[in-house]
Amino acid sequence: MLRNLKPACFVFDFAPTRALRQISEYGIGLSPSEPNPETAVKDLVSFLPVLAYDGANMTQIDAGGILDIAMAGTSATLLARKWESAMLVNVDNGTLRRILDNPEAMAAVERIEGWRSLGDNIIETIINKSEKVKGLKNKAKDGDLTPKEKKELSAEEKEYKSKRKLIQEKLIKFATRIPAFMYLTDFRENTL
């Protein structure tokens, strides 16, 4: 009897939740005495790796990711990546003032990891510097700026923009933690 062994087999599915649910059920079924479903699925995917396309790259999904997608439709890693967009975190003066004027919001922001490293009163500093830059730009439109004021305008603008960017990065880092609680499944709750 002749056998053809294929070195690789690819299965494509346009309903990944369904396919990964089948993989997770099959993996759990292979180890019925295993109390931890992630361990059971991990054994299966060590022989049958699962790849996912996240919009730019093909990445291998671990057993936890497979169970997340099977139960919730997406993995924590893929969710967090979607929440990393700078478009989700607006740090204009109006938003910063609303945070500053709300003691609860300010207390929450101050608990963000690494916030204190930005320095005291960073929000007030950004608002004040951006308003000063705005005033200098209005003066520049009239052509009344001295070379010293032009240099000051450039330095002030660079400084407040870099500080605004730092705040945005801290808020994005915080935002990536939100999906873990929004899309909590039994499996994810056990692993938190």
Per-domain residue ranges of the chain: 16-84+179-191, 86-175
Q: Answer yes or no: is pLDDT of 132 > 80.
A: yes
Q: Answer yes or no: is pLDDT of 128 > 80.
A: yes
How far CA 166 is from CA of 31, 38, 122, in Å, comes to: 48, 37, 10
**Cross-strand bridge partners of residue 60:** 51
Per-residue confidence (pLDDT) for residue 17, from 0 to 100? 75
Q: What is the pTM of this model?
A: 0.50
How far CA 140 is from CA of 147, 181, 182, in Å, comes to: 11, 49, 48
41: nearest Cα among 58, 56, 28: 28
Distance CA 42, CA 24 (A): 9
78: nearest Cα among 64, 90, 91: 64
Q: Are 63 and 69 in contact (CB under 8 A)?
A: no
Per-residue confidence (pLDDT) for residue 148, from 0 to 100? 82
Per-residue confidence (pLDDT) for residue 75, from 0 to 100? 54
Q: Which of 11-15, 38-42, 112-116 has the highest mean pLDDT?
A: 38-42
Of all residues in the chain, the percent with pLDDT exceeding 70 is 75
Of all residues in the chain, the percent with pLDDT exceeding 90 is 2
Q: Which stretch of 3-12, 24-33, 82-91, 180-189 has the lowest confidence by average pLDDT?
A: 180-189
Q: Answer yes or no: is pLDDT of 9 > 60.
A: yes
